Structure formats: C-alpha cells, structure tokens
Structure 1
Amino acid sequence: MSTSPTAVVDHTAHTRYSDPGPHAALLEALPVDPPGLSAVARNVIVHYRSEGLDLPAVTSEDINLRWIERMLATDQERHGTPLTEPRAETARLQGCCRDHTLLCVATLRTHGVPARSRIGYAGYFHRNWFADHVVVEAWLEGRWRRFDPEIGAGFEALPVPMDMPTAELGSSGFVTAAQVWVGHRAGAVDADRYGVDPVNLLLRGERYVFDEVIYEIAHRFGDELLLWDGWGRIGIPGTPVTDEDAAWMDEIAALLLAADAGDLDAEARLLERYRTDAGLHPGTEIVQASPHGDPPVTVSIL
C-alpha cells in the first residue's frame, strides 16, 4: 500500500458520480470517522437483497441510481430530513455495497479527505467463498485505510470492519480484483470460488474476475459505475476469456498492483491506458443489465 495520498488523480475532487450538487449541505453535516459515517450509509441505504425484509417493488429501481446527486434527491423526496435521522428499513434507498461506499466516498471528498472505492472480493461473508464486494479506501491518520460501511460490528471472520488490513489471497479478508486475477493466472487460486454467491453458477470464475478488474480501474479513475454496467471488453457472463484478452489483462492488472504499491509511474501509465483504450474506458454509453433480470438497456452517461 502507498504511504502517501499522492496519486495521479486527486481523490479529494468529486467525480460526476460522487458530486452531491445542490445537496452538498447534507454531506457537510455528516461525520467523517468510519464508524459514524458507515452508520449513516446504512441508515440511508438498505441492500436490495437483504434477508428477512420485504422491500417494496415501487422502489426497486433505486438500484440503478448511478449518481450520488440523484440518490440524495430521491432520499429527500421520501424523507426531507437530515441523513442522520432514522429511516425505516423498507423506506430506505435500495442499493448495494457500491452505493454504501459511494455515499461514504462522496462525504469524505466533500470534507476534503482523499477517498476512493475499491472493488474486489470479501472472504468474510461465506466460509470458503469470496463474494464480489466494494469497500471504502480513505486517507486517514496518515495512511490509506479500508473500511466496509455495510458491516456494523466485527465478527470472527472480520474482527475490525472499520480498519481492514491488506489481505492475502485465500484469507477471510478483502482482496482486490487485480490480486485475484494475478493469483488466478499464476494458478494460486480457484477463480470459480470468486463471484456473487455460492449458489450462482454463472456469475463467478475467470470471466467474472476479468470484468471486475475493469470495474476496479474505472472506479479508481473516477467512473464509479454500477456493478451491472457493461462496456469495452466486459463480456457476457459465462463467456470464455480469450487468450488475447487474458494477456491484455495481465498487463493491466500488473500496473494496478504496482500502483497500489506506490509506483506513481505505473499509475500514470495505467491512467493513460484507461483514457485511451476502448476496452477499459466506458465512453459516452454503457449497457445497463439488471440484477432483477430485466432486459439490458443502453444508457447515456454523459
């Protein structure tokens, strides 16, 4: 991990996804300590697959609220109160880990704290299974600190969710998508143990990990897209990764791991690749799929 907040992009600056627009005051009123901020994120957003909750169908499209400005506008249309005021679980925005993280990242940036979302896999939700996940990485107390805003309290597999150590492959911690890709290509991990959940036979494996690395890079450089958006070399779930694509991804993942280690030259080269390679950059339109099974649609992200 880098020992400096210096990077080739300014992680205190809002992206078009994290910019709260006219709702900045809502974020200015929030705490920036991970436990306090995470509690607010859970108060505003409920996971759309939360067990034991009968979430209203009328709000199911909340999951496609791509911009924090629109998320905050929708929350205020329903509640019209500060984000710290309690919301009934079934009245919260329906979202996922990406949305909990984006709310935290947007708040931290509003307060001038460098922050970004990190995409990878968590080994702490299921035994011997690694679920795709998004967590916050913020420059706090002189170091990059990862925390999982979805988790309210520590447990055996994740004792300190508000300050997660850099994890090794195969551990119960959080590892980045690039780590998993490199480990898969080296034969160190079984990619079929990385995906949405243990019962989904399609959203897992080499193709899924390949696509997740593209998401990871997009989020790093300010395109904090939905986890079911598609563009560039992101493929249809379950389709094989070609030898050409795998070799291409080997170069990309190596640059990403070097950037994580503090190599600014590698990060600058990765940013240049991201901006110029149509396989990485989303351009002006993406294909939005749906975790609810709705037909894919083409969406402008201008």
Structure 2
Amino acid sequence: MAYSRQTRYSDPRAHAALFDPLPADPAGIGEVIRNLVVHYRASGIDFPPDRLAEIDSRWADRLLDADRRRFDTPLAEPRAPEQRIVGCCRDFALLTVSALRHQGIPARSRIGFADYLGPDWHYDHVVAEYWDGARWVATDTQIDIADLRLGPGGLRTAAQVWSGFRRGEIDLETFGVDPGADHLRGGWFARNYVIGELAHRLGDELLLWDLWGDMSEELPDDLSLIDELAELLQAADAGDRAAERKLADHYAGDPRLHPGTHVTCASPTGATFTADLRRDAI
C-alpha cells in the first residue's frame, strides 16, 4: 500500500488542520504526540470510567475529539498529563503515523514486543515507522526513542517472536501484557499478534484488544497459517516485493485474516462488546 495515504483509522478528518502547524520532522511530531496522549496504565493516574473509555476510541479523529472536548488551543500547547487523551502505545503510534502522513511522510505502525520497557519481560508494544527516503526508521514516540532497532534489544516484531518460538529459541511465557497478567501472554497471544501485525501493515490499525477472523484465546493444532505469515512478514521487511504482494493477496482474500465489518472488543475497561467498523454506522 502507499503509506503516505491516510487509512480509515489514521485519517484525522475534520481535525486535519490541527496538524498543519506541526513540525515536518518525526522528532518534532513525536514531542507533540507525547503532549497529547497519556498511557492508561503506565501513567499511574486513576482515570474515572468516562475518561478511561477513551482507550477504545479506535479512530484518529475520535482520539482528537477527546482532546478537543477539553482544549481549543493548538496541539503543541502544553496539556497536563491528567487532561491528555487516555490511550496506550497503539494510540501514540497511530497519531504519530497520522501526523507524518499529513506531512507527506510515508509511515506505518508496527506491532511486537519490546525488550526495553522493563527487565526480564517483553511487553506487547506498538511503535511508528517512517520512510526517510532511504530506509524505514522505527520511532517510539511514547518514550522518545528516535531510531529503534526492530529486533532483539529493541522491538521484536510479532513475526520475529513467533518464528523464534517455532524454532525453540523463545519462551513465550515472558512475552505479553504484563508479568501480573497471567492470561495475556504465551503462544495464543503471540499468534494473534502476528495477525494484528499484518492488519496494521495493510492499513487496518486496530486496537490491541480487538479480536477477529482466526484469532483465538487458545493455540490451535494447525499453526501453518501463522508460520507462513510470519515468514512472509520478515521477508517483506527485508525488501522482498513478492512477499509483500503475497501478504496483500492473503489479507484481501482470506476471511481468517481481515476483520470484515465487525470485531469483538475485549476492552481493558472490563467491557467486551461487538464493535462496528463501518464509519457510516458510527
């Protein structure tokens, strides 16, 4: 896909003009995004239910709606942490990608597991990636890392993690949401994230807690589909155009992979509900 075009999730729609004054460079954009979003868990702030619900905003323009409900100032004007948009790593990445695309910079979001957020644990994480004219550069605008390695020591993509697991090199019991979240880790979790990585790559930048298609909270007996996707994703990252095309064909043609019109949203708010992805239905 053409990564300089907005997707239905990254499109700021009525708020596009808010991005006009932003710096035309990834570092400057990242600084603004950190001023807009606060992590619902990592901040340590106890948000009331109506504010916590912002984590399910899903669309970039709905995230910006939340900011506009409290502010009528430019996005770069300081916001106190407790007044920022309540989100997670995916929202830092989505708004970064949205702002970069608005500036004409090709950008996309990457899903995987971070080796750098805490000791002895690989936290599920999303970062932005942009094309600098010569290569794709990953940037973690949540914590201000400008040139992030995609691999051990940095963000291991979901595909890398899955392939490492299948080779017997990785214990997936240390890959997940948090050491204290007993269920949100392991093989089924990493498998779902490979499907999520593919979706984000192809323009469906869904929530981390959305479930669709062949996603499951159990590890099935047949792992061949995810094995193939993981290999193709890594080949595409290495510049294999044929792998990129095959991923797009798989995603478009296989209902196990793309979300269709509805997903199950298992929100961190504690609610589980069916979300309609059709913009005209919202």
Interval containing the TM-score (normalised by the shorter chain): over 0.9
Deviation at 1:252, TM superposition (A): 1.1
Paired with 2:277 and 2:150, the residues of 1 have a C-alpha distance of: 33
Aligned to 1:202: 183
Aligned to 1:301: 277
SS at match of 2:122: strand
Paired with 1:257 and 1:90, the residues of 2 have a C-alpha distance of: 39
Aligned to 2:79: 87
Say if 1:89 and 1:51 are closer, same or farther in 2 by CA, change over 3 A. closer
Which of 74, 89, 96 is the equivalent residue of 1:97?
89
Is 1:15 equivalent to 2:7 in the alignment? yes
Is 1:271 equivalent to 2:252 in the alignment? no
Deviation at 1:32, TM superposition (A): 3.5
The answer to whether the 8 A contact 1:54-1:90 is kept is no
Deviation at 1:166, TM superposition (A): 3.3
Q: Which runs of 4+ in 1 moved over 2 A?
A: 32-35, 50-58, 165-168
Aligned to 2:19: 27
The answer to whether the 8 A contact 2:53-2:269 is kept is no
Which of 18, 25, 33 is the equivalent residue of 1:41?
33
Is 1:253 equivalent to 2:234 in the alignment? no
Unaligned runs of 5+ in 1: 1-8, 153-160
Q: How many residues align?
A: 278
Which of 267, 272, 283 is the equivalent residue of 2:260?
283
Deviation at 1:51, TM superposition (A): 4.0
Is 1:191 equivalent to 2:196 in the alignment? no
The answer to whether the 8 A contact 2:12-2:64 is kept is yes
SS at match of 1:183: helix
Compute the RMSD of aligned alpha carbons: 1.2
Identity among equivalent pairs (%):
48
Structure 2 counterparts to residues 47-126 of structure 1, below 5 A: 47-126=39-118
Paired with 1:123 and 1:276, the residues of 2 have a C-alpha distance of: 34
Aligned to 2:216: 235
Is 1:178 equivalent to 2:159 in the alignment? yes
Aligned residue identity for 1:132: D
Deviation at 1:141, TM superposition (A): 4.9
Paired with 2:42 and 2:90, the residues of 1 have a C-alpha distance of: 15
The answer to whether the 8 A contact 1:56-1:90 is kept is no
Deviation at 1:300, TM superposition (A): 1.0
Q: Give the TM-score normalised by the residue count of structure 1.
A: 0.89
Aligned residue identity for 1:166: L
Say if 1:188 and 1:30 are closer, same or farther in 2 by CA, change over 3 A. same
Paired with 2:148 and 2:42, the residues of 1 have a C-alpha distance of: 23
The answer to whether the 8 A contact 1:12-1:114 is kept is yes
Paired with 1:10 and 1:51, the residues of 2 have a C-alpha distance of: 34
Aligned residue identity for 1:267: E
Q: Give the TM-score normalised by the residue count of structure 2.
A: 0.95
SS at match of 1:124: coil
Paired with 1:53 and 1:298, the residues of 2 have a C-alpha distance of: 28
Paired with 2:89 and 2:125, the residues of 1 have a C-alpha distance of: 6
Paired with 2:89 and 2:48, the residues of 1 have a C-alpha distance of: 19
